[in-house]
Structure 1
Amino acid sequence: MLDDKQNHLLQMGVMLSTAGLIINAFVVVVGAFGMNINIDLFKDDTNAEKDIVGGCTTGSIFLYVVAIASNKGF
């Protein structure tokens, strides 16, 4: 019974660590695009910032699901 509880705690630790890694990657990407750098990406479209944040959010969720799914396979 104790081994089962320990395994569950280890799995939760892996899931939380993976979530932290993905969230940190999200923050880095959105922070890089959030800087006041004059590039052609932001000149024509006023909603480009929302598109980037939405794309990064979707990508982060996808990466988390893939990481957890690949962890369950082992």
Structure 2
Amino acid sequence: MTVDPDLALIVGIGLVLLSLLSIVAAWIDARLPVWGGAICAVGLMLVALALIVHPQGYRFGQLPDVFFTVLGRYVF
């Protein structure tokens, strides 16, 4: 089974962004951000996996192309 690094990168970035909302909400309510921290950790692991598996790495300017490639490949 091979890992698609583009998909791992996009899902990881999405999880990190969504976890930030949970972390901020927990901080405002004076709670521990347990689920937000766990989701952020999983997202960061997926991003790290994508950076390790992809042979050339990613540049910041490539992110929109990678996003739309993954969107076209898996959604449409």
TM-score of the pair, normalised by structure 1: 0.38
TM-score of the pair, normalised by structure 2: 0.37
